Amino acid sequence: MKTLNILSGGAAQGLVRSLGPAFESETGLGIAGDFGAVGAMADRLRAGVPTDIVILTAALIATLADEGLVARSSITDIGRVETALAVRTGDPLARAEDAASLRAELLAADAIFVPDIQASTAGIHVAKVLAQLAIADVVTDRLKVFPNGATAMRHLAESNDRRPIGCTQSTEIISTMGVVLSGTLPPGCGLATMYTAAVATQASAASQAQRLIALLTSPATSELRNRVGFVSG
């Protein structure tokens, strides 16, 4: 089967996979590619990996447009994704109504599962929050860092730690079996990131890539977007 090649932040994986069957039925194309830390995905595009569609943060898509790597006219916002807390299914939810309670929850955890703290949107933010809460040095040995949020959440689900916690994009939590969304980060510590799609300038299936963008952003799929963790506006 011919495929549409995608490079995407992990935050959009659940949404894209959910729309895969409808897209394949309409176009005859499957969806192939990578989902991971946005910085790593941008670097793969820059390295010349064959790509039809890119889904990354709005800021990074704008940079890629400036670099001539995506078609500016194709840029379309999908929705915002909040950085959130996760626990294993069956564990008590982590309550973080404010910075003080978030600090307490993180200090109480014996393992903290996070995505790449240098290349992923959520991981970079987690590192900033730990510094903001003045506990970065205290919890450094408890950090379990993985290439992307989906991988971090899978490992959280399988963890044998006494009281583990995870922090990544809400979409990656919702789409992972064995973990549950425990709430977004509190005011002053939160992050809502706009994710945006664009057609790569070297796309071999540009019209089909544009069709996938239309499906991802259609009013008809707004309920699905909300269900997997995207927030409009």
pLDDT in tens, 170-218: 999 999 999 999 999 999 999 999 999 999 999 999 999 999 999 999 9
pLDDT confidence of residue 95: 86
Stretch(es) of the chain classified as CATH 3.40.190.10: 3-80+194-231, 81-184
User: 194-225 as b/e, with b when 16 or more CB fall inside 10 Å?
Assistant: bbbbbbbbebebbebbbbbbebbbeeebeebb
> What is the CATH code of the structural domain delimited by 3-80+194-231?
3.40.190.10
In whole angstroms, what is the distance from residue 42 CA to residue 35 CA?
11
Q: How far is C-alpha 197 from the chain's CA centre?
A: 13
Which of helix, strand or coil describes residue 145?
Answer: strand
Which strand (E) or helix (H) includes residue 200? none
Band of pLDDT at residue 2, cut at 50, 70 and 90:
confident
Which of helix, strand or coil describes residue 88?
Answer: strand
Nearest partner of 111 among 86, 147, 84, 129, judged by Cα: 86
Assess whether pLDDT exceeds 90 at residue 159.
yes
Nearest-Å Rg of the Cα atoms of the chain is 18
Provide CB contacts within 8 A for 29, sequence distance 6+: 1, 2, 3, 4, 23, 205, 208
Q: What's the mean pLDDT when you consider all of the chain?
A: 95
**CATH superfamily, domain at 81-184:** Periplasmic binding protein-like II (3.40.190.10)
Provide CB contacts within 8 A for 161, sequence distance 6+: 110, 111
Band of pLDDT at residue 1, cut at 50, 70 and 90:
low
Band of pLDDT at residue 33, cut at 50, 70 and 90:
confident
Average pLDDT over every residue of 112-132: 95
C-beta of residue 209 within 8 angstroms of C-beta of residue 200: yes
Band of pLDDT at residue 233, cut at 50, 70 and 90:
low
Average pLDDT over every residue of 106-119: 95
Nearest partner of 17 among 33, 39, 38, judged by Cα: 33
